[in-house]
């Protein structure tokens, strides 16, 4: 539970301090707004991944596995698209607090959010191994 709170707080700090430094991204709000946006981002990221995995599974089963020839390279080179899409969905659902103008700022911000996710998952991995 503590690790989830750390992830939410790090994402909130990113919404306040890091993402507004990227040209094309504007954040309007306080820390509570950033915490709410980070929770919504986590939900949107889960939904985007769920839809992507569902489409990939249906496509793989429908082509008897041949789709994996395309899906694996797409996943390797396109892993940064999912956080960008989730961030654009958050900006579209909360336009009074977050605006993202264009895909390039969304991809850069998505990479920042992806790095936070990777850092906290690494933290979770180390925590479970030691426990």
- Residue 94, SS3? coil
Reply yes or no on whether the pLDDT at 101 is more than 70. yes
pLDDT in tens, 39-81: 999 999 999 989 988 988 898 898 888 888 888 888 887 778 8
The angle subtended at Cα 16 by Cα 102 and Cα 5, nearest 5°, is: 115
Q: What is the pLDDT of residue 3?
A: 76
SS3 of 64, please?
coil
Q: Return the domain boundaries, the chain.
A: 2-124
> Residues with Cβ < 8 Å from 86, sequence gap 6 or more?
41, 44, 45, 47, 48, 110, 113
Is the pLDDT score of 131 beyond 50?
no
């Amino acid at each position: 539970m503590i690790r989830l709170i750390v992830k939410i707080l790090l994402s909130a700090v990113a919404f306040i301090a890091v993402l507004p430094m990227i040209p094309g991204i504007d954040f309007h709000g306080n820390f509570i707004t950033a915490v709410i946006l980070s929770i919504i981002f986590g939900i949107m990221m889960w939904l985007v991944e769920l839809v992507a995995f569902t489409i990939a599974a249906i496509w793989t089963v429908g082509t008897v596995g041949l789709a994996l020839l395309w899906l694996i390279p797409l996943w390797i080179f396109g892993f940064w698209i999912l956080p960008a899409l989730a961030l654009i969905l958050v900006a579209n659902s909360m336009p009074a607090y977050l605006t993202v103008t264009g895909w390039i700022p969304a991809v850069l911000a998505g990479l920042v959010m992806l790095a936070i996710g990777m850092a906290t998952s690494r933290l979770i991995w180390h925590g479970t191994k030691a426990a």
